[in-house]
């Protein structure tokens, strides 16, 4: 097997990085892209960078992805500089350009690579460990959305069209059931029936946006807890990462995914479903953190659907995992047999837990 540093040696020389690559290793994070951390010797000082290969089957227009990323990170930096935010270089992603000044490299094989400065002194968690962490995640994503409310210029590209269009996700699920290309439908009839019974919730936010009650805003669209980098020393949320899906959207989808990944301290593919439940103390902390920032720009319709959004996005992702399982595991990277089915079952179990507590969840945010 070829060592990562050997694979990356040719890639790295195309970027504005000076020094010799000493060591590289893959980072097993995320379901989509191929990511490496690389250490360089720069005049006797060791400096780390992130090299990442974009998944071209998911992001079919890499130039659009990188155009959005450059605009967003530059805007965030300007806003943070204007507010005299401390520790500025660790509060947003820093893109390393190629030697000809581009934001990404496309090599002869058609692979797309980009490079970031490695943010030191932070860590991420696959599952939340305390209400303090939940508060920090909510505050960080609320601040992120708020800083982008005045991004000027043309509309950002839709890097994955209809990413959170729950009706279209449901229709894709229906097609996967009907096609049953891997003969798996009979073994997951309980999950299929669970999804079918909840079809009516698919259109709630879409209808509200169509009526003009909920505005389009710039959103992250993948607000998993592990996309928040927390300072190792203080526990403060410093940087939001994984910006490939930052595009026009609905803030409720962002908050809903925060509920999904922050209020049940289990892994996304937890096999022991007895551990999966929405924990109200974590939800309250998340909501307080989020509204401490987002409360300044949300309208009343958005606030009225905050609790519902957690149920919707958890349901939507469960649909996506089930669709991928039925289709032969084509989209999400899997690491074991039935991995997408395990992920689906975890989401659907959490939907049930949210349903039991949804009224109390909304009553809480109404009081904030």
134-176 pLDDT per residue, tens: 999 999 999 999 999 999 999 999 999 999 999 999 999 999 9
CA gap 272, 266 in Å, rounded = 9
- Please indicate, yes or no, whether residues 92 and 149 belong to a single structural domain of this protein: no
Domain with residue 116: its CATH number is 3.30.200
pLDDT at 3: 64
Check whether 1 has a pLDDT greater than 60: no
Choose among 137, 301, 141: nearest CA to 221. 141
Residue at 275 is within a domain: yes
pLDDT band at 29 (very low <50, low <70, confident <90, very high): low
Q: Using one digit for the tens of pLDDT, what is the confidence trace for 184-224? A: 999 999 999 999 999 999 999 999 999 999 999 999 999 99
Picking from 84, 99, 120, the residue at the C-terminal end of a domain is: 120
Tell me which H or E stretch contains 257.
helix 251-262
Query: How far is C-alpha 108 from the chain's CA centre?
Result: 30
Tell me which H or E stretch contains 359.
helix 339-367
Q: Using one digit for the tens of pLDDT, what is the confidence trace for 298-331? A: 999 999 999 999 999 999 999 999 999 999 999 8
Cα–Cα distances in Å, from 45 out to 20, 39, 48, 96, 191? 11, 10, 10, 18, 54
- Please indicate, yes or no, whether residues 36 and 104 belong to a single structural domain of this protein: yes
- Backbone φ and ψ for 277, nearest 5 degrees, come out as -160, 150
How many percent of the chain have pLDDT more than 90? 87
pLDDT average, residue stretch 100-121: 94
Length of the chain in terms of residues written: 368
Residue at 2 is within a domain: no
Residue at 171 is within a domain: yes
- Please indicate, yes or no, whether residues 172 and 26 belong to a single structural domain of this protein: no
Check whether 92 has a pLDDT greater than 80: yes
- Please indicate, yes or no, whether residues 76 and 178 belong to a single structural domain of this protein: no
Is residue 156 helix, strand or coil?
coil
Cβ atoms of 94 and 50 closer than 8 Å: no
pLDDT at 27: 83
Residue 360 tokens read as 């109390």
- Please indicate, yes or no, whether residues 160 and 102 belong to a single structural domain of this protein: no
- Please indicate, yes or no, whether residues 107 and 164 belong to a single structural domain of this protein: no
Cβ atoms of 269 and 342 closer than 8 Å: yes
pLDDT band at 66 (very low <50, low <70, confident <90, very high): very high
Domain that holds residue 109: 19-120
Is pTM beyond 0.95? Reply is no
- Backbone φ and ψ for 131, nearest 5 degrees, come out as -60, -30
- Please indicate, yes or no, whether residues 143 and 115 belong to a single structural domain of this protein: no
| Domain count along the chain | 2
Say how many Å lie between the first and final Cα of the chain, rounded. Answer: 55
Choose among 249, 242, 266: nearest CA to 350. 266
């Amino acid at each position: 097997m070829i060592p990562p540093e050997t694979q990356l040696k040719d890639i790295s020389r195309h970027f504005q990085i000076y020094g010799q690559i000493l060591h590289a290793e893959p980072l097993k994070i995320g379901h989509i892209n191929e990511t490496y951390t690389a250490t360089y010797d720069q005049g006797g000082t060791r400096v780390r960078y992130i090299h990442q290969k974009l998944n071209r089957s998911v992001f079919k227009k890499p130039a659009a992805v990188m155009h959005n990323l450059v605009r967003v990170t530059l805007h965030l930096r300007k806003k943070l500089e204007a507010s005299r935010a401390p520790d500025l270089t660790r509060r947003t992603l820093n893109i390393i350009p190629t030697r000809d000044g581009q934001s990404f490299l496309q090599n002869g094989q058609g692979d797309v690579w980009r490079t970031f400065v490695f943010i030191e002194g932070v860590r991420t968690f696959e599952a939340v460990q305390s209400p303090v962490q939940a508060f920090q995640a909510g505050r960080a994503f609320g601040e992120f959305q708020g800083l982008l409310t005045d991004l000027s210029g043309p509309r950002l590209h839709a890097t994955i069209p209809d990413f959170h269009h729950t009706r279209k996700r449901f229709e894709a699920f229906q097609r996967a059931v009907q096609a049953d290309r891997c003969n798996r439908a009979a073994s997951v009839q309980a999950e299929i029936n669970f999804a079918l019974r909840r079809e009516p919730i698919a259109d709630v936010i879409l209808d509200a946006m169509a009526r003009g009650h909920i505005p389009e805003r710039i959103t992250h669209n993948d607000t998993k807890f592990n996309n928040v980098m927390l300072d190792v020393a203080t526990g403060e949320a410093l940087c939001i990462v994984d910006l490939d899906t930052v595009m026009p959207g609905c803030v409720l989808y962002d908050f809903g995914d925060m509920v999904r990944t922050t209020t049940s301290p289990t892994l996304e593919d937890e096999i022991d479903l007895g551990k999966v439940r929405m924990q109200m103390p974590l939800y309250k902390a998340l909501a307080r953190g989020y509204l401490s920032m987002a409360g300044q720009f949300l309208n009343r319709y958005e606030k009225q659907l905050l609790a519902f959004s957690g149920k919707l996005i958890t349901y939507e992702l469960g649909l996506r995992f089930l669709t991928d399982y039925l289709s032969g595991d084509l989209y999400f990277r899997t690491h074991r047999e039935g991995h997408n089915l395990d992920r689906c079952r975890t989401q659907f179990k959490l939907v049930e837990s949210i349903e039991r507590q949804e009224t109390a969840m909304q009553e809480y945010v109404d009081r904030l």
